[in-house]
Amino acid sequence: MKKRIALIAVMAVIFFLGCPKSEVATIDVTPATGTTGIGLTAQFTATAHDADGNVVDDVDFTWTSSSTATATVDTNGLATGVAAGSCTITAASGDIEGAAALVVTSGPTHHGGDIDADETWYPSANPHIIDDDINVQNNATLTIMPGCIVKVQPSTEIYAGYYGAGSIIADGKADTTILFTSNVASPSPGDWIGIGLYQYAMNTSSFSYCTIEYAGSNVYHGSFWVEGVTFAKFNHNTLRQSSSDGVCLYSDAGFQSFANNTVTGCNGYPLHLNAEFVRTIGAVNTFTSNTTNAVYVTSGTVHTSGTWVNNGVPYVLGGDVNIGDNNTSPVITIAPGNIIKFQPDIEFYTGYYAAGGLIADGSTGRIIFTSNVASPSPGDYYHVGFYQYSIGASCKLINCNVLYGGGFSTNDGNVVIEDALPDVRGDSIGYSATWGIYIYGNHPDRDSLLAHNTFFSNDSGPVSP
C-alpha cells in the first residue's frame, strides 16, 4: 500500500510540473540575408531545434544587432535600418545562438518621369521607389541590376518605347533576383499598373530572374505587356497576383524568348497573345492558380512556321486562326498532348486564302480539339478546316479528339476538308451539330476516313456523302 501511495505521489508531481522541455541545440534565423533601407524595416524569424533536429516550441529569443549604428532590432526580430552598411542580427536562447546578415542600403531612392539618357539602378540604393510613371525614350536604356528592389506607387507604370525608342534591361541572377512590387503597406493585386514595352521599344529589352507582383490595374494590359513590332526576352521570371491577365502581347508583338517562367494567382489568363506569335512561346513555363489556366490566343493570320508547345495548359482560341501565306508557306505543328479550346463560332483552318499546313499528330500524346463552353454542346464552334491551298504533306490530323464543332451551317462538320488531301486517321470525332467530317471537291477517300477513324454522336452522320 505504501509503494502504491508513493507511485501516485510521483505521478502527481510529474503531472503538475509537466514533461521535461527539450533542450535547444541549434537556432536558425531566416532570411539568411536581409536587405532594408535607412528608416525601413526587415523582419527576421528564429526557429529552435533540439539535437535530433526537431522544432522546439515556446522558446523566448533574445535579439541583438552587431552594430546598432547600422541597424537596431526589437524583441520580435524586426530590424530597422539606421545607416548604410552591414551587420549581423542574432537570436539567442541561453548560450545557443543563430545569426543572419543584414544589409542596409543608402535608399530609399526615388524615381519618376522621363529617362532620356542611359541610366543604371543598383541594389546599393534599395529600395527604388517609383513615385510617378517611368518613361524610357530618346534611345535610352534603363538597366536594373541584380538584387534591386523596385517599389511602385499606386496607379503607376514603368514603360519604354511609347513616344520614342527606349529599352529596359532587368536581368537578375538565379541567386540575386530583381523584385518589382507594390509600395503599399498591405499590398494587393492591382496596386500598380505594370511594366510595358510599346511600339518603339528596342528589342534589346530583357527581363530575367525577376518577380513582378501586385500589378495589373489596367484590365487591357495585364501586369507585363508588349505592343507593336516588338520582341521581348522574358525568361526565368515569376509574375504573380495580377488583378488582370499576367503577360499580354498585342498587335505584332512576340517573344525573342519566353521560357522557365511562372505565372500564378492572376485574375485572368496567365498569357495572352496573337496567333502569329504563339510559336514564340518556349517550354517549361508553369501556369497555376490563375482564374483561367490557359493561353488565350487572339484571332489572326499565321505567316511563319513554328510549334505550339505543350506547357500543360490549354490554348483558348478567341478568334479565327488562319494559317496561310504564299510567300512563306507556313506550317504550324501542334505538340502532342495539347488541348485546343474554341470560343463560340470560331474556326481553325489552313489553305483557304494561301498556302499553309497544320500538323496535329497525337501519336505520343493525344491532341484534343474541343469547346471552351463550360457545359459544351454540339455546334459550339465551327471546325478544324483544310482547304484548297493546304500543303498536302504538311497537313495531318492523327490520333486527335475533335469534339463539339460543326456549328457553321448544315454543310459543316467537326472537320472540314475541301479540295485538300490531309492525312486523317486514328481520330475520335464526335458531338458535331452536323457531320463528323464534311468533305467537298477533291478529298481523301470516304471509305478510308470511315475505316481509320472513330465517329459517335454526330447529328448528320460520320462523313458527308
Choose the final residue of a domain: 274, 292, 310: 292
Nearest-Å Rg of the Cα atoms of the chain is 30
Q: What is the pLDDT of residue 426?
A: 98
Same domain, 303 and 451: yes
Closest to 294 (Cα-Cα) out of 208, 209, 372: 372
Q: What is the pLDDT of residue 308?
A: 98
In a domain, 9, yes or no: no
Choose the final residue of a domain: 244, 277, 292: 292
Return d(Cα 227, Cα 37) in angstroms, integer: 35
In a domain, 234, yes or no: yes
The enclosing domain of 60 has a CATH number of 2.60.40.1080
* pTM for the whole structure: 0.82
Same domain, 408 and 275: no
Cell numbers placing 419? 479540295
Beta bridge partners of 173: 176
Four-CA torsion 204, 210, 215, 220, nearest 10 degrees: 40
Same domain, 185 and 244: yes
Return d(Cα 184, Cα 192) in angstroms, integer: 9
pLDDT < 50 positions in the chain:
1-19
Alpha carbon distances (Å) from 345 to 66, 189, 230, 320: 68, 33, 30, 9
In a domain, 270, yes or no: yes
In a domain, 1, yes or no: no
Count of all residues that appear for the chain in the document: 465
In a domain, 409, yes or no: yes
Q: What is the pLDDT of residue 218?
A: 87
Same domain, 129 and 278: yes
- Count how many domains the chain has: 3
Same domain, 149 and 238: yes
In a domain, 127, yes or no: yes
Same domain, 267 and 230: yes
Q: What is the pLDDT of residue 8?
A: 45
In a domain, 370, yes or no: yes
Same domain, 313 and 260: no
What single string gives the DSSP state of each residue in 261-313? -EEES-SS-SEEEEGGGGGG--SS-EEESSSS-SEEEE-EEE-S-EEE---SS
Same domain, 277 and 405: no
In a domain, 91, yes or no: yes
Same domain, 384 and 247: no
Choose the final residue of a domain: 34, 69, 104: 104
Same domain, 315 and 352: yes
Contact assessment for residue 30 and residue 44, using Cβ atoms and an 8 Å cutoff: yes
Distance of CA 115 to the CA centre of its chain: 29
Same domain, 198 and 255: yes
Q: Which residues contact 240 (CB under 8 A, 6 or more apart)?
A: 211, 212, 213, 262, 263, 264, 265, 266
Return d(Cα 37, Cα 105) in angstroms, integer: 5
Q: What is the pLDDT of residue 17?
A: 43
Same domain, 66 and 88: yes
The three-point CA angle 323-327-329 to 5° equals 40
Return d(Cα 222, Cα 193) in angstroms, integer: 8
Contact assessment for residue 417 and residue 429, using Cβ atoms and an 8 Å cutoff: no
Predicted confidence (pLDDT) per residue in 332-382, tens digit: 999 999 999 999 999 999 999 999 999 999 999 999 999 999 999 999 999
- Residue 119, Cβ density class (10 Å: 0-12 exposed, 13-18 middle, ≥19 buried): middle
Cell numbers placing 312? 500543360
What range defines the domain where residue 201 resides? 107-292
Return d(Cα 232, Cα 410) in angstroms, integer: 44
